[in-house]
Each structure stands twice: as C-alpha cells, then as structure tokens.
Structure 1
C-alpha cells in the first residue's frame, strides 16, 4: 500500500520536533554497516572485520598447507598443524564522521519509491553516502596527502605501494603481455584463482584500446560490452573512483575493512537553518581502518615511474611505399620498399597485395613483376591494418628488331638540360645523341637495364644510369659523334677511371674504348651493372 503524503509529513514532523541521538547496539551497528557496504559495488566484495576495540590485530590471510597423511592405525600420532601459516596484522581504528543536510524532498521521494517510513529513508540516504566515501578512502587514502579527505587514513593503494611483495612503477601503463608476466612473479603457494586485477574504469579503457588495436585476438583477455572483464586468466574488478593508472593484483578478500561496533547516529531537531534549507541535519560517527592481510599476495603496478616496460608494444601509425607510382615493362621486375612510422614500431611485418594478378604480380617481400600491358595497384599493409597503395603501369615488353633493342632513351632533354646541366645541345640533335648514348650504356651493362626496364631499379641506381647516359651525350657533343665510327676523338686525349683506362692517341686503343665517356664509366661502375667480360675497355 502506497505511503500517503500525510503520513510522511507526520513522520518528518516527529523527527524534526524531537531530534534523535542514539548509539546502536552491537548487532544493529553490524547490520547498519553491512547494509551500507552492500550498497557499494566493490566494498561488499571485500572482507569486513568488526573490532571491539580501537587497536588490535586481525589474522593474516591463511595459506593452507598440505595436511593429509596416511593413517597408521594405533600408531597414528595426533600431530596436527595450525592451518594459518602466519599470525596477524595490526590495525588502528580512526574515528570518522559524516554530517550532511538531506533535503526533505529527497527524503519523501526515497520513502515513497522504496515504501519506507521517513526514518528508514533517511538512514538509506546516509548509508549510500557513507559507503561511497568509505570506498573512496579505502582505496585512495593517503595520510601524506594535502587533501583533507584523503589524509584521514592510508588506503590500499598507498599501503601496497609501500609494502607489496611485487611492485612495478613504469613510465606508462604496461602492456597486457607485461601484466601476464607479473602473475608469474609470485611464490607458487601464494598465487591462486581468486586473484583479481583491481583498477579504475579509465585504466580499464586503456587495455580495451590496446586489445582493439591488435591485428589478431591472442586469447589472453575478454571484453564484454566495451569493458575488460578477464585478463591473463584472472577476473577484472573495476572500482569507481579509484586512482587512475594504478593496478592492484590480489584476492579481494586480502583487502579488509575494519569497522568499530560503536555507531552513533544523530538527527538534529528543527531550527531556523532547517526551516530555511527545508532539510534535516544528520550526523554519523564510526571508527574505521583499512588493512592488507597478506603483502605477499598483492602486486602494485602503476604508470607513473621510470621503469621501462619490457613488453611495450609500439603500434604502427602509418605505412607507405617508398618508390611511389611505378612503371615496369612486361617481364620486368622492381623491388618495392615499405616504410613504417614510427621507426620504433614493435611489429614491422608487412603484406603486399596486387589488385590485378593478370597485369602484375608481387611477392611477399615486395618484388613486383610485369605480366601484361595495363594498369593496376599494389597495396601494402601493417599488422594492425594500416595500408597504402601505389599505381602500377606495365608497358610492352622490350622487343628486338633486327638486333636492335626497341626502347626509349634513358633520359629526355629536360633531364639533360635542367637536372644534369650538360653542355648545350640542339633539341633537334638530342634525340639522336640520347639514343646512341643509351645504346652505349646497354653495351656496357650487358643489356641488363634494357631487359628488365629502367624502373625496375631503385631511385639511386636509376639516377646513376641517367647520369651515365647524360655524360655520354655530353661526350658526343664535345668530341663529336663521329667518334663512334672513326675511333678517334677531336681532343685525342687520354683518361683513366677506376679500373678502366682509355688513351685517345694510343695505337693500341680500340674504337670501343675511345667512344665511351669517362664519367659514364664511373657512374655505371657505382651501379654494379658493368659487364666485365666481352666489353672492350682497356683495364689497368
């Protein structure tokens, strides 16, 4: 049956008129605290110990030994051992109070929706506030803090940072692989299945993001509804209001709330302030402490120190193909190179993929090969899905016509004039000179370039080939293209480059040696493409 407004007003009037000041009996105090703790998502899962005095000790978290023995009949000796391996840990209660104004409207709403009388509604509201504050202080309390609230008592984070058997303070929050390794740092007798990863909601999202950025599922974690619930074989506990970038790894029963049995509740009688505020003033006094029952069963991890994370994973941000758009001939090849950023990415594995295998193919290592005339694209991707593509143009295969290779010269007039900046050549003469110079380059390199195509080489090698061709064009312009037929140069000079020697006036100098520009030989020597047998160039 719904509570009438008339009844609620009558109950509120009685409380405001007389006020209330009571110290709960032990059983009522216990019930009050347990009810309050039950309203908190995490506190209710911790171990609660009720103390009869302000100071004392509490048993450490017990470690069960191997106690089974073979029965020897009448010879059996009753030499049983204590199941608790170690004795106790001290506590010292601190008196904490909660005073608050509770608006009458909130009281009426709570009473009506919960079917409670006014006094019960007021207690429920106080218990909810008490539980929220107690959980905040239990985890984040720090007596050295400048915050008046936090400095009331040391919480689990501060105690674990000081005394946990396993402590790590990394430059930033460690990756999941590192957390997994930490579970192996405990002594075998202390680690068990009830351990949990205790963290704030924001810290939880750090690992949700790490998992979502993985290219494959490693099976070491579980995400449900966008929340990390399982990690490295252990459950995850999210604590509302817990300090960020900190993780405690421990059984929840190892974290203990020690509460005194003296609970005092006071409701002030109505006065002018209460009338003005349309609220009632309430005061609650209780003694509390927080205890970690076994430091050998807790690990403290944070991302606020100087320790390097041994398992840190640097995720690739981008990838590109260094060569850019490429052109190759049918049956020509070209090695593609992938560049990943940042440079210190942990996983630099790549995968190349061709859009149309009928036009070209590409190997796992990026070796591109022309198949048929046309255009297609190559895409390279990283392990976490970043990708980049280039255009691939495949030109007709280089053909032989009456022993002459049909292919374009290796340079054009713009390259010779603007990039190489060679001696002035008439535009009408350049076509003939560049074709003849390209022929010389082919002869010196055993036609390797002509067969595979200029674009099949990396940018550095292409540059040297073009420079060699330009040097030969300039040589023809200075010495005369007649050199090719007479074997004599206009300057009749001599030169030597590296392993090659050419003497213009020597009777032993062949036409082959006389017709090659010194710089052309030097550039081609640097490419490693020089044909060393069958080319008649004088060698020192």
Structure 2
C-alpha cells in the first residue's frame, strides 16, 4: 500500500497511546514526507529514537578500503568511526475542520482523513523550507525553530565561493559560477556526486541565459529536451532557496533526523468544538533536526545577483 493511500485512511483507532503513530505507520509517514519535498527525497534521512542522540558518519569522501592479510582480521585503524550529534526540536502543524465542511462534502467523514494526508504533505513542505532557511537566532517564529543547512554551513566554516566581480559586486548565474564552485571543492568529495541546490528563479535565469546562446544546447534547453547539468553535475531548484545563495555538496552530506514518536492529536469533544460547531481539531507533532556530516564536503555559494 502506498504511503499516501495509507495515511488517507488514518483514524483515531489506528493511533497508539497518546496519538503516537504505530511504527509501520510512522515509516509510511516518513516516506511521504520525503516524497513530497524534492530535497528531502535526496538527503540522508534518519529516524531516531531520542531527541538528543548521535548517528554514525558514513564517511563522505573518505577512503575506507584497507589491506587485509591472509588468515587475519580486517584492520580498521584509521577508518572513520565518528558521529554526528542530533538535537531534535519540537514542531507542529495545527488545523480545525468545521462540521459544515464535512456535511457538505461528498466524502463526509472520510474528508477528515484526506485532510490528514494533506497536512502531512504540508509538514514535508514546511520542513524542507526550515531545513534550508532555519536560523535559531532569527526573530521570525517559523525560521527560529531550528538551524537549517545554510546556517550550519556558515557557522561551521564550509568553504565559500563569493560570486562577485573585481569590485565586489554580485554577479548573475553563469557557467563561471558552477566552474568556480567546483574548483573550490576538494577533489575527493567530487566522487560522491555533489549537486547544486539553488532557487527556482536562478535555475530559470540560467536556463534563459543558455537559450540566448546560438548553439544546439540553447535550443535543447528552450524546448525542454535537455536537463541543466553544468559540467555534468545535477542542479536542483527549490522555491524555498534564497536567490542570493546556493549550495554545492553531496546530497547525502545533508542530514534530516526525525524522532519515531510522531503524534497525531484529534480533539472531537471539547468546549471549543461545541461552541464553534467544529467536527474536530487536529495537530501533527514531531521532533526533528537538521545537520551536515562534513562541512568540508561542500561549497557555500554567496553573493549571487538577484534574477
């Protein structure tokens, strides 16, 4: 059964103590979160059992092969056994459903379960937004829930490429941006298939730039016959990515951790539901975190001119 189909059929009877999703339903929820967010579908996603925990590094770009003599055990000396610290923060998606909406909709009571699926999709979209833009020092109540990958990259000193001219002026997206970012990254990380992550607007701007060139590539891009793969690297455009920044890193270097105990609260009998004639009130509550395994395995691109 597909994750989305299963979640559309969630009822209060399916939930564990305190509204916690059973393990198999959590797995389906987690899968749907990934599938409804482009970047989350490519990063390293890790379900965890505790808010404060550690997960093993996968050794992005590291040499793991070691010599092994006959009739001897493998020598693990020097193999990466470090860990990434995870510190999950609580977040929620909250909504109400009026009785008229249920009674006047052909789906009637099934509508509540369909909306639950839609809200899990909203969790995915909001989570990806927070994963990109999160900054605990920001005044905005959404942004300061957790530090996202851009904030972590800046705080940890990820190698930076400033896309400016000799006078320090921000420059538009051109092929030199991709070339210079690639040259900034250590060679050993390039075998991990790094990708460029930038805003949809900048991807469109670069596509338009290519169509202005009198070449076969320009025609292919214009008619949608060619994907953008500068120097044979994928480019992922996101609506939540700032226009002035981009990342060049292996997708698996970015980590999203979610605690198993995702909770779905359904309140159908209360003074508020009675007074406002509500069918029910709903809330999805989860604890998650974003991390970067190796800050050196990437390039933080800054000072890109707005399209």
Question: TM-score, structure 1 length as denominator?
Answer: 0.46
Please state how far the C-alpha of 1:240 moved relative to its aligned partner: 2.8
Residues 23-57 of structure 1, C-alpha deviations (whole Å, 9 max, x = no match): 22344333323223322233222221111111122
Which residue of structure 2 aligns with residue 213 of structure 1?
Answer: 212
In 2, the alpha carbon distance for the partners of 1:104 and 1:257 equals: 37
Matching residue of 1:291: 291
Report the equivalent of 2:49.
52
**Structure index of larger Rg:** 1
Is 1:35 paired with 2:28?
no
Higher relative contact order (CA closer than 8 Å, sequence separation 6+) = 2
**Deviation of residue 136 (structure 1)?**
0.8
Q: Is the CA contact 2:158–2:298 (under 8 Å) kept in the aligned structure 1?
A: yes
Match 1:125 to one of 98, 118, 122: 118
How far the C-alpha of 1:167 sits from its partner, in A, is 0.6
Determine if the alignment matches structure 1 residue 162 to structure 2 residue 162.
no
CA deviation vs aligned residue, 1:111-158 (integer Å, no higher than 9, x gap) = 95xxx9455323202211111111111111111222110011111111
Checking the alignment, whether the CA contact within 8 Å between 1:156 and 1:290 is kept in structure 2 is yes
> Contact between 2:181 and 2:301, CA under 8 Å: does it hold in 1?
no
- CA RMSD between the two structures: 3.6
Distance 1:105 1:86, change over 3 A: farther
Asked whether the equivalents of residues 52 and 261 of structure 1 are also in contact (C-alpha less than 8 Å), the reply is yes
Matches within 5 A, 1:238-277: 238-270=237-269, 274=273, 276=276
Tell me, in whole angstroms, the C-alpha distance in 2 between the residues paired with 1:131 and 1:250: 21
2:63 counterpart of 1:65: yes
SS at match of 1:198: strand
- Report if the CA contact (8 A) 1:67-1:81 is conserved: no
Which residues in structure 2 correspond to 1:328-367 (within 5 Å)? none
**Cα deviation, residue 174, structure 1:** 4.8
Q: Is the contact made by 2:135 and 2:147 (CA closer than 8 Å) also made in structure 1?
A: yes
* Higher share in strand: 1
CA 178–29 in structure 1, closer or farther in 2 if over 3 Å, else same: closer
> Which sections of structure 2, spanning at least 5 residues, go unmatched?
1-8, 164-169
Partner SS for 2:183: helix
Instruction: Tell me which residue corresponds to 1:458.
Output: none
Number of the residue aligned with 1:134: 127
Task: Check whether the contact 1:249–1:300 (CA below 8 A) recurs between aligned residues.
Answer: yes
Separation (CA, whole Å) in 1 of partners of 2:279 and 2:187? 56
Do 1:138 and 1:290's aligned partners in 2 also have CA atoms closer than 8 Å? yes
Cα displacement (A) at 1:270: 4.6
Q: Secondary structure at the match of 2:190?
A: coil
Counterparts of 1:32-431 in structure 2 under 5 Å?
32-62=29-59, 63-65=61-63, 67=65, 69=67, 77-81=72-76, 84-85=79-80, 87-102=82-97, 112=107, 117-118=110-111, 120-170=113-163, 171-192=170-191, 194-216=193-215, 225=224, 229-270=228-269, 274=273, 276=276, 280-303=280-303
- Per-residue CA distance 1:325-363 (angstroms, 9 max, x = gap): xxxxxxxxxxxxxxxxxxxxxxxxxxxxxxxxxxxxxxx
CA distance in 1, matches of 2:238, 2:103: 30
Matched positions, count: 284
* Structure 1 unaligned regions, length at least 5: 1-10, 306-540
Asked whether the equivalents of residues 46 and 258 of structure 2 are also in contact (C-alpha less than 8 Å), the reply is yes
Distance 1:72 1:254, change over 3 A: closer
Deviation for aligned residue 1:271 = 5.3
Counterpart CA distance in 1 for 2:301 and 2:103 is: 45
Change in 2 beyond 3 A, CA 1:164/1:227? farther
Aligned equivalent of 1:403: none
Q: So what's the TM-score if we normalise by structure 2?
A: 0.77
Q: Please list the CA deviations of residues 45-91 of structure 1 after superposition, one character each: whole Å capped at 9, or x if unmatched.
A: 2221111111122222324526265x865xx5434336953512212
